[in-house]
Amino acid sequence: ATPKGLETFVVNMKEKKQVFEFDLSNEPLKLAVDPQYDVFRILDPMEVPPTWSKILASKDNLVVLPSKADENRKKLYQEFVDKWKAADNDQFEVVYDNELNNLPANRTSWIIGFENKFADLINADISGSHSSLKGDSVLYENRATAKSNHSFVLTVYNGQNPDYNLAFIAIDNSAAIDGLITKLPHYGKYSYLGFEGDEPVNIAKGEWPVLNSPLIKIFSSSAQKVNMVQKREPLGTLAPIFSEQRMMDHIKYLASNKLKGRGLGTPELDSAANYIAGKFKEYGLEPLGNSYYQLFSQNLAGKGEVQMKNVVGIIRGTDEKLKDAPVVISAHYDHLGLGWPDVRKGDEGKIHAGADDNASGVSILLEIVKSLARTLQPKRTVIFVAFTGEEAGLIGSRYFISQAKKYFTGAITANVNLDTDGSLFDKKLLVLNGNTAKEWKFVFMGTDYTTGVKSEVVQQELDASDQAAFIEKGIPAVQLFTGATENYHRPSDTFDKIDGKGLVKVAAVAKEVLEYLADRDVPFEFTGKIASAGPAAAEKPAGGRRASTGSVPDFAFTGEGVKVASVIPGSSGEKAGLLAGDIITSVNGDPVKKLTDYSDALKKFQPGETIKLGILREGKAKVIQIALGER
């Protein structure tokens, strides 16, 4: 690697040891030999990350318990060790850390508990990967998770002998032990893991970066993370099921100036509804009743009584026992028009195009309709619905659910909601509200393999979109979400910023999940929290300014606090020195454990007021002062 890119050399080797010299056109930053493993050879252990599979394969193990742990912790750790030994036929010797001066070089050592004197050895090893065991949270590659109610498992190389690994395990409660022992053999490819609760639920996993390969030479510290792998085109590809161009055409129309932001109560929103209904008919979808439109009215603050319509079509189920217990796939088609009911200071009267939010979701919905309407023969009826009134408080989705019994004798079994899906690029697809059924995480583990699209199931309770209307009624529901951007609810949310290739990826995942739900005999069991319905726009107090720090949250963050994904340029947060990667832990001393805590805290303040934000930056606590801006 050089400042101007990669330079590649191919050499022939006939001897076990040979010397080569290369003339470079630029200063070398990093050298990698066989970075894509093209040569058939025995790998050095340090070329690949340490993984849990090597711990599982070890026949000779030394378990080291912490002598300074309190009695309850000692009993907890001993219970884990006893149960693991009972489930594993390998050899285990158990000692306390005060019986050892050093760890052996020729055995696999298991370090148990944060109190263990050898935990510092583990911590020093992972520090180069922006990870830490210190404090009240565990940091995995800059992502913090509270130690309370969580179990942590990781492995590193034995510094004395890389042919052996060290294991570190910390458990917070006895109820998690049985599940942990059952699950760990299935996570062999990972270097680090985090689990939550009694089950326990996996909430973090990953592989350590390779930092000490003997076939890599770093000439400049700035080149440590330079990617040495060259992209290769596949020898052959399958034609995509979905058309990127067709989805982009849908967005181009829905987010055009002609539709003026698809505001509630406008003829432009009616035009959008007509467009969607026309595509439903063209693609072969059956209307729910006599029409694709579900008509109703709603009183809205500042607008009076507004005629509204959801656009609904179905593929009828084929199983007599299951067809009246449908699944729903949805996307809202309304947006903010010229800035109602949400507008940021200075954007009043401007067209809010809503390309990402949510012409993108509608385009994916339409593409799935085209793919399935004339071919799918599901056991359960599949309902495709474009909701109105999402921006004004989930009006359309709540009305739809309230009327479902008029059409089906059974209950809706699940909802997959598509909202803000135009900014995937090379990120993971976020699955919001994954806590509403235990099965969701396994479903999306499956789509990772079948589609090749990586996803992350977010367990936080969020009310970000229409899936919340289903959750309020005890229906398992998730939102497919490509992440918040600085264009959220701004006139800058325009067609030119959409990731077309990402639309195809989201559509592939949504189709897989929908087909699975439509043919599943046993519905998911709801495990979420049923919250009371929030206010619609008609019930919200008029006026009032809203304070903002200008931070965009990382919805995938699983630890305590709110992780900052990005900071809007020119915002109060940027001026105060808030950085992407910071974890907000308090507002004026009040703890922030999750996103809703942060949102509720900011509602107490007005723009212009100064607050103190407690943050974690690379594991270190700081307090910064911010003069709040106005949204």
Identify whether residues 329 and 348 lie together within a single domain. Answer: yes
pLDDT at 300 over 90: no
Which pLDDT band holds residue 535 (cuts at 50, 70, 90)? low
pLDDT for residue 541 = 37
- For residue 108, the surrounding DSSP H or E stretch is strand 108-112
The whole-number average pLDDT for the span 240-245 is 91
Identify whether residues 44 and 76 lie together within a single domain. Answer: no
Which pLDDT band holds residue 237 (cuts at 50, 70, 90)? confident
The whole-number average pLDDT for the span 590-599 is 90
pLDDT at 26 over 50: yes
Cβ atoms of residues 113 and 132 within 8 Å: no
Cβ atoms of residues 194 and 151 within 8 Å: yes
Phi-psi region of 304 (alpha: psi -120 to 50; beta: other; left: phi over 0): left
Of all residues in the chain, what percent carry a pLDDT higher than 70?
98
What is the distance in angstroms between the CA of the first residue and the CA of the last residue of the chain?
44
Dist. CA 238–CA 555, nearest whole Å = 33
Which pLDDT band holds residue 16 (cuts at 50, 70, 90)? confident
What are the tens digits of pLDDT across the range 58-77?
999 999 999 999 999 999 99
Distance of CA 328 to the CA centre of its chain: 22
Out of 12-26, 150-164, 225-239, 404-418, pick the least confident.
225-239
The whole-number average pLDDT for the span 357-368 is 98
Any idea of the CA torsion for 281, 286, 290, 296, to the nearest 10 degrees? -80
Half-sphere exposure of residue 467: CA atoms within 13 angstroms, side-chain side: 28
pLDDT for residue 247 = 98
Non-local (6+) Cβ contacts of 115 within 8 A are 66, 68, 69, 73
Identify whether residues 388 and 515 lie together within a single domain. Answer: yes
The whole-number average pLDDT for the span 445-473 is 91
Out of 46-50, 218-222, 386-390, 431-435, pick the least confident.
218-222
Q: Which two tokens stand for residue 254?
A: 């829905």
Residue 239 placed within a domain: no
Which pLDDT band holds residue 5 (cuts at 50, 70, 90)? confident
CATH number, domain at 196? 3.30.379
Identify whether residues 113 and 87 lie together within a single domain. Answer: yes
Which pLDDT band holds residue 24 (cuts at 50, 70, 90)? confident
pLDDT for residue 186 = 92
Mean predicted lDDT score pLDDT of the chain: 93
Is 0.75 topped by the overall pTM? no
Residue 601 placed within a domain: yes
Which pLDDT band holds residue 426 (cuts at 50, 70, 90)? confident
pLDDT at 481 over 70: yes
Residue 313 placed within a domain: yes
SS3 labels along 199-238: CCEEEEEECCCCCCCCCEEECCHHHCCCCCCCCCCCCCCC
The whole-number average pLDDT for the span 601-610 is 92
pLDDT for residue 368 = 98
Tokens 């055409």, residue located: 249
Which pLDDT band holds residue 410 (cuts at 50, 70, 90)? very high
- For residue 183, the surrounding DSSP H or E stretch is helix 177-183
Domains held by the chain: number: 4
What one-letter code names the amino acid at 134?
A: K
Which pLDDT band holds residue 544 (cuts at 50, 70, 90)? very low
Identify whether residues 111 and 13 lie together within a single domain. Answer: no
> b vs e for 101-121, b when ≥16 Cβ sit within 10 Å of the residue's Cβ?
eebeeebbbbbbbbbbebbeb
CATH number, domain at 329? 3.40.630.10
Q: What are the beta bridge partners of residue 428?
A: none
SS3 labels along 424-436: CCCCCEEEECHHH
Dist. CA 195–CA 435, nearest whole Å = 14
Out of 181-185, 558-562, 622-626, pick the least confident.
558-562
Q: What are the beta bridge partners of residue 340?
A: none
Residue 252 placed within a domain: yes
Dist. CA 306–CA 269, nearest whole Å = 12
Identify whether residues 283 and 397 lie together within a single domain. Answer: yes
Which pLDDT band holds residue 545 (cuts at 50, 70, 90)? low
The whole-number average pLDDT for the span 532-543 is 50
Which pLDDT band holds residue 52 (cuts at 50, 70, 90)? very high
How many C-beta atoms lie closer than 10 Å to residue 487's C-beta? Answer: 21
Identify whether residues 196 and 218 lie together within a single domain. Answer: no
Residue 217 placed within a domain: yes
Check the CA dihedral 394-395-398-404 and report its sign. Answer: negative
What one-letter code names the amino acid at 173?
A: N
The whole-number average pLDDT for the span 286-293 is 95
Which pLDDT band holds residue 293 (cuts at 50, 70, 90)? very high
The whole-number average pLDDT for the span 182-199 is 94
Q: Which domain holds residue 37?
A: 1-48+210-229
DSSP letter at 357 equals I
pLDDT for residue 534 = 58
Identify whether residues 287 and 404 lie together within a single domain. Answer: yes
Identify whether residues 445 and 556 lie together within a single domain. Answer: no
Residue 537 placed within a domain: no
Query: Which of 557, 564, 560, 596 has its CA nearest to residue 582?
Result: 564
Out of 129-133, 284-288, 302-306, 376-380, pick the least confident.
302-306
> Burial, 178: exposed, middle or buried (Cβ in 10 Å; 0-12, 13-18, 19+)?
middle
- For residue 152, the surrounding DSSP H or E stretch is strand 150-158
CATH number, domain at 562? 2.30.42.10
pLDDT for residue 540 = 45
Q: Which two tokens stand for residue 74?
A: 């000692």
Q: What are the beta bridge partners of residue 548?
A: 629
Identify whether residues 485 and 359 lie together within a single domain. Answer: yes
What one-letter code names the amino acid at 145?
A: T
* Alpha-carbon distance values, 534 to 279, 531, 599, 600 (Å): 32, 9, 14, 14
The whole-number average pLDDT for the span 149-173 is 96
Task: Say how many residues make up the chain.
Answer: 631
Which pLDDT band holds residue 543 (cuts at 50, 70, 90)? very low
What one-letter code names the amino acid at 352?
A: H
Residue 451 placed within a domain: yes
Residue 617 placed within a domain: yes
Dist. CA 214–CA 45, nearest whole Å = 9
Identify whether residues 123 and 195 lie together within a single domain. Answer: yes
Identify whether residues 426 and 522 lie together within a single domain. Answer: yes
pLDDT for residue 75 = 97
- For residue 627, the surrounding DSSP H or E stretch is strand 620-627
Which pLDDT band holds residue 531 (cuts at 50, 70, 90)? low
